[in-house]
């Protein structure tokens, strides 16, 4: 993922909503959203799959864990021999360690700059952001948060625009499908901010312009937004959550229809078991 907006307990009907774009070179092979079992794991995960290194940019487990990663953009800080950041997600989903214990693992592995958003929603409703390039882990407060290729809630124009569009969509949506369409429209935004608003991340200004919209296409069509993914958790009458994970995969050329995959997860994340003596 290279752009994410996340709404936590902003709307009583939709307590968890995530809207994200994954940007990557189109030549890098990847599998579409599906259940698959990472190498060395005993349980499957739901997400896309990087077919070059075997990891993923975003996935969830049936047990209620979820994680996604974004790169920290700084070309001068990249090591071509560093391990793939995609393994961070599957490591978290397959493991039994807490987020507090996971932070040192993230720092110790020698990854290039990376952000991780992760949660174990069946055990604890809270979310955590951590990075191997910036400060201690941060627990996310209720509200709307945004992340791209810098620290959490860094006010890049596309981050701020998507956060605003997410708030607007939640305020007006009458159904999960209507909410999804509003968010896909927001993720397709190709607005390029003025040069004075561009971040300075160590790439040429021309690239800063190309990378500035929510939806990216370089002029040669070699790099851009590969897929747009939504996670919408809807609270049902009995208190359980009904979660939809929807992915639209985009071809390199403009004007080509997206491939949509949708997975519905009744009672996800699963509710924790009742404590002894309680009903």
pLDDT score of 196: 97
Query: Residue 34 CB: number of other CB atoms within 10 A?
Result: 14
pLDDT digits (tens, 9 = 90+) for 51-83: 999 999 999 999 999 999 999 999 999 999 999
User: Could you read off the pLDDT of 100-136 as tens digits, one per residue?
Assistant: 888 888 888 899 999 999 999 998 889 999 999 988 8
In order of start, what are the domains of the chain with their CATH numbers? 3-266 (3.60.60.10)
Residue 244 confidence class, pLDDT cut points 50, 70, 90: very high
Q: Half-sphere exposure of residue 266, counting CA atoms within 13 Å on the CB side?
A: 2
The whole-model pTM stands at: 0.95
Closest CA to 247 of 260, 263, 256, 264: 260
Strands 143-147 and 223-235: unpaired
- Please tell me the distance from the alpha carbon of residue 19 to that of residue 177, in angstroms, as a whole number: 14
16-25/30-36 β-pairing: unpaired
Residue in the structure block whose two tokens are 């882990």? 137
Residues 6 or more apart whose Cβ sits within 8 Å of residue 133: 72, 74, 77, 113, 114
What integer is the mean pLDDT of 173-199? 97
């Amino acid at each position: 993922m290279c752009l994410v907006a996340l709404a936590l307990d902003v709307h009583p009907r939709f307590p968890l909503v995530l809207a994200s774009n994954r940007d990557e070179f189109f030549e890098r092979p990847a599998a579409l959203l599906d259940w698959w079992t990472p190498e060395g794991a005993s349980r499957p995960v739901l997400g896309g799959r990087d077919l070059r290194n075997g990891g993923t940019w975003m996935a969830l487990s049936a047990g209620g864990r979820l994680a996604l990663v974004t790169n920290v953009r700084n070309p001068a800080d990249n090591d071509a021999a560093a391990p793939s950041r995609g393994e961070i997600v599957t490591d978290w989903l397959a493991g039994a360690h807490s987020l507090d214990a996971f932070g040192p693992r993230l720092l110790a592995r020698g990854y290039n700059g990376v952000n991780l958003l992760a949660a174990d929603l069946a055990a604890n409703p809270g979310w955590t952001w951590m990075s191997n390039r910036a400060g201690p882990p941060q627990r996310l407060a209720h509200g709307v948060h945004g992340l791209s290729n810098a620290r959490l809630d860094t006010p890049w124009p596309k981050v701020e625009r998507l956060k605003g569009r997410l708030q607007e969509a939640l305020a007006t949506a009458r159904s999960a499908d209507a909410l999804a369409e509003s968010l896909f429209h927001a993720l397709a935004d190709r607005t390029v901010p003025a040069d004075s608003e561009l971040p300075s991340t160590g790439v040429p200004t021309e690239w800063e312009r190309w990378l500035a919209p929510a939806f990216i296409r370089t002029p040669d069509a070699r790099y851009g937004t590969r897929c747009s993914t939504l996670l919408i958790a809807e609270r049902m009458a009995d208190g359980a959550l009904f979660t939809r994970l929807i992915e639209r995969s985009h071809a390199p050329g403009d004007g080509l229809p997206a491939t949509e995959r949708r997975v519905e997860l009744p009672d996800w994340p699963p509710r924790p078991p009742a404590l002894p003596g309680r009903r």
